[in-house]
Chain A
Amino acid sequence: DTAVSQTPKYLVTQMGNDKSIKCEQNLGHDTMYWYKQDSKKFLKIMFSYNNKELIINETVPNRFSPKSPDKAHLNLHINSLELGDSAVYFCASSQELAGGNEQFFGPGTRLTVL
């Protein structure tokens, strides 16, 4: 069973469109994250949710709106897509423990905006 899954794996769309990426984890973790990896391969945190509540928002444009219907899901909705949104988006989850934690990453969603 896949621990952290994302759909779709590939997404090609036109500028100005609205799209969503879904993420699910079956690990029972309390915290979920979205990361963005751009064309230069830099991996950067975007959002983090703990028990459905937003705890990190790294100055991401408000065209990006994460939604967590329950603690196993963290979806990412993007409005008015721009060329610069083209990237690979990774979802991750973790359980905060004393002594540190391990984040489990999904396989990524490659978004291409034309």
Chain B
Amino acid sequence: DAKTTQPTSMDCAEGRAANLPCNHSTISGNEYVYWYRQIHSQGPQYIIHGLKNNETNEMASLIITEDRKSSTLILPHATLRDTAVYYCIVRGSSNTGKLIFGQGTTLQVKP
């Protein structure tokens, strides 16, 4: 079973920031938070991951709370092409590598 809880769906206006929350209250000390997204009919795409510090890359920012029990993925300027299902996944650093996907959040970016 997935170790994360996400809202089922969210809307965002084009050009605005999209903030996608994730709860992972049972996260262990050596587990990372990963975000992937799946655009309709395509394979999942890696976005970002972090352990305890906030992270930023060309796609998004990841904000992890100090107690690590929740995090937020931020798409700073959402476009229509960001419409997708976004998955928040908790994964250890030395496990067998599998990703356990939950139901994710369906983000609809609207004009």
Which residue numbers of A lie inside 8 Å of B, CB to CB? Answer: 4, 31, 33, 41-45, 48, 50, 55-56, 58, 90, 92, 94, 96, 98-108
CB distance from B71 to the nearest CB of A (A): 14
In the complex, chain B residues whose CB is within 8 Å of the CB of A42: 101, 103
Contacts of A43 on B, CB cut-off 8 Å?
38, 44, 87, 101
Q: How many A-B residue pairs have CB under 8 A?
A: 59
- What residues make up the interface of B, taking CB atoms closer than 8 Å to A? 32, 34, 36, 38, 41-46, 49, 51, 85, 87, 91, 93, 96-101, 103
A108 touches B41 (CB 8 A): yes
In the assembled complex, the CB of B100 is this many whole angstroms from the nearest CB of chain A, namely: 7
Residue in B32, B41, B97 whose Cβ sees the most chain A Cβ within 10 Å: B97
Given contacts A100-B34, A100-B49, contact A108 B43 (CB under 8 A): yes
CB A84 to nearest CB in B, in angstroms, measures 19
Question: Which residue of chain B lies nearest to A90 when distances are taken between CB atoms in the complex?
Answer: B43
Q: Does B46 lie within 8 Å of A103, measured CB to CB?
A: yes
Residues of A within 8 A of B49 (CB): 100, 102
Assess the B97–A33 pair: CB atoms within 8 A: yes
Q: By the criterion CB–CB under 8 Å, are B46 and A102 in contact?
A: yes
Q: How far is the CA of A106 from the CA of B97 in the complex (A)?
A: 17
